[in-house]
Amino acid sequence: MTTAAASLAPAMAQDAPAPQVLGADVLVCGAGVAGTMAAVAAARAGARVLLLERYGFLGGNATAGAVAQFNSWQTANGRRVVAGLAQEVVDRLRIYGAAAAHETFVMSTGHRMDRVEYAPEVLKLVLDDMVSDAGVQPLLHASLLDVQREGARVTQVRALTKSGIVAVRPRMLVDASGDMDALRKAGASFLSLEAGEALQPATMMFRFGPIDFAALEAADIGALARRGYEEGALARAALHVARAPFSQDGWFNVSRLAVDATDAMALGRAEIEGRRQAWCAAKFLRHAVPGCAQGRLQAFGTQVGVRETRRVRGEHVLTAEELLAPVAFDDAIAAGAYPIDIHPAAGGELEYSALGDDHAYQIPYRSLCPAGLDNVLAAGRGISASHKALAAIRVMTISMAVGQAAGVAAAQAAAQGERAAARAVSVQRLRAALLDAGACLA
Ligand SMILES: Cc1cc2nc3c(=O)[nH]c(=O)nc-3n(C[C@H](O)[C@H](O)[C@H](O)COP(=O)(O)OP(=O)(O)OC[C@H]3O[C@@H](n4cnc5c(N)ncnc54)[C@H](O)[C@@H]3O)c2cc1C
């Protein structure tokens, strides 16, 4: 050992105390909208819940990614398909004056869609309130370190935190990390892209304003977007904007980043390229788009919004065919009506399959149950679904509904004791509890 190394050794030993060990009925990894709803639902169902999140706030894409609009609550003819905790989120946002009215609008593809625009910063507060009220124990600034497994059971999950390593020994684990990092570390198996498919691109959202929305809405946005794309000012031929409620600003969704967000180096490059694209788009808005001449870029998302990374292989792989010709699943735990909406990684037009007037589909519980693991559930954008099916069910409304279902299921499973297992949950009981809590299952 060199003298320098020898003098470092004692200091390193002092910095590495024994890990703190915590017990929990349910550990939820990742506090995006899916994970937060899972944690709240599990706690309300009586479980002791720990919610592990790498940031200092909750929400994932919905806050850090600044997505700013909850899409698709209903079928084209207005039949409600998502409610439950997702609706409670909106109700609470409204109390803070941070969500607009439910409305329909025309997307850049020309299709009609319904949405609720919201303020991402205030959503952080609402999610704080919901976990606090439910008695969830948040473990923030905690990055997943490793997962220990014995046979088909996850026995321990460790996270790196400001105060060192924290080990959690949960009865049930819900992986809602979007990238399914916990399942990856647990050795779960994942679905591959098929020939001709690519991961959906990421997007750096940005806030721009003030905007004269009346002038903007009167303009030919489609033609302007195509012009911006052809001139190289926009990375995609779209000028999607969600208005920040009760303000003159909008959150723009116009950048395009072909990236595998589980590759750390590539993700770093995408953050930088995303800010560059956003800046170019903001200049285009200011100089070429009616209503935007006084605007300035006000903020970036804390991170690029990530649409797709890993999808776990579950007891059932939900397919596009099962959404397009809807299958009535006996074990349906959530419903949705958002169309298959694939953003090409290389830029250009969306692949968008509009659904019929009263068209809704269901999501089966088995798509939340990773194959080969007993005490684990998946929630959110990494559940067991094909690339095309995920392109529909990834939206936040459906992610929240799936999160709620995963949370109730995890609590019911944890109540079985030390041998808790996702597959041992009575689907009838689970569905009844979800209906009681105001969720829509069809
Ligand atoms: C640019 C963009 C635009 C979109 N537009 C819309 C829209 O208009 N309307 C709509 O409804 N939906 C939209 N979506 C889809 C929607 O936002 C996401 O699919 C949804 O938010 C996914 O939620 P989630 O909770 O599954 O995952 P995420 O939001 O990805 O949350 C995962 C959480 O896990 C945490 N995490 C990850 N890894 C670790 C780790 N190793 N350790 C600790 N914590 C970890 C993250 O920090 C995050 O909080 C859009 C998505 C993007 C990216």
Q: What percent of the chain has pLDDT over 90?
A: 90
Phi-psi region of 232 (alpha: psi -120 to 50; beta: other; left: phi over 0): left
Which residues have C-beta within 8 Å of that of residue 29, sequence separation ≥ 6?
Answer: 35, 52, 144, 157, 173, 174, 175, 176, 177, 181, 182
* Distance from residue 305's CA to the centre of ligand 1 (Å): 7
Taking only the tens place, the pLDDT of each residue in 265-304 is 999 999 999 999 999 999 999 999 999 999 999 999 999 9
pLDDT at 8 over 50: no
**pTM score:** 0.96
Q: What is the pLDDT of residue 103?
A: 97
Do strands 20-29 and 49-52 pair parallel, antiparallel, or not at all (unpaired)? parallel
* Distance from residue 35's CA to the centre of ligand 1 (Å): 10
pLDDT at 7 over 80: no
Residue with tokens 């597959």: 423
What is the number of other CB atoms lying within 10 angstroms of the CB of residue 49?
Answer: 31
CB distance 121 to 58 below 8 Å: no
Nearest CA to ligand 1 atom 45: 30
Nearest CA to ligand 1 atom 26: 380
d(CA 91, CA 85): 10
* Distance from residue 263's CA to the centre of ligand 1 (Å): 16
* Distance from residue 83's CA to the centre of ligand 1 (Å): 19
* Distance from residue 203's CA to the centre of ligand 1 (Å): 11
Residue 144: closest CA among 173, 185, 188 = 185
Token pair for 402: 């799936």
**Among the ranges given (65-79, 240-254, 333-347, 408-422), the one the predictor scored with the smallest mean pLDDT:** 333-347
Atom of ligand 1 nearest to the CA of 307: 53
Token pair for 56: 């200092």
Q: What is the pLDDT of residue 349?
A: 67
d(CA 364, CA 336): 12
Which among 104, 117, 175, 396 is the best mutation to test ligand 1's pocket, defined by most ligand atoms within 8 Å of the CB? 396
Q: What is the pLDDT of residue 354?
A: 82
**What b/e readout covers 232-260, taking b as 16+ CB neighbours within 10 angstroms?**
ebbbbbbbbbbbbbeeebbbbbbbbbbbb
Phi, psi of 76, deg, nearest 5: -60, -30
d(CA 225, CA 242): 16
C-alpha distances in Å from residue 337, one per residue of 80, 249, 288, 296, 353: 9, 29, 35, 35, 11
d(CA 289, CA 252): 13
Secondary structure of 69-103 in HEC code, one letter for each residue: EEECCECCCCCECCCHHHHHHHHHHHHCCCECCCE
| Half-sphere exposure (Cβ direction) of 85: Cα atoms closer than 13 Å | 33
* Distance from residue 97's CA to the centre of ligand 1 (Å): 23
Nearest CA to ligand 1 atom 20: 396
Atom of ligand 1 nearest to the CA of 396: 11
C-alpha distances in Å from residue 278, one per residue of 67, 250, 348: 14, 13, 17
* Distance from residue 18's CA to the centre of ligand 1 (Å): 33
Taking only the tens place, the pLDDT of each residue in 85-133 is 999 999 999 999 999 999 999 887 778 899 999 999 999 999 999 999 9
Atom of ligand 1 nearest to the CA of 181: 41
Taking only the tens place, the pLDDT of each residue in 360-407 is 999 999 999 999 999 999 999 999 999 999 999 999 999 999 999 999
Residue 176: closest CA among 404, 419, 416, 422 = 404
* Distance from residue 294's CA to the centre of ligand 1 (Å): 31
| Ligand 1-lining residues (CB < 6 angstroms) | 30-35, 52-55, 60-62, 65, 67, 69-71, 143-144, 176-179, 181, 203, 205, 253, 305-307, 380-381, 394-397, 399
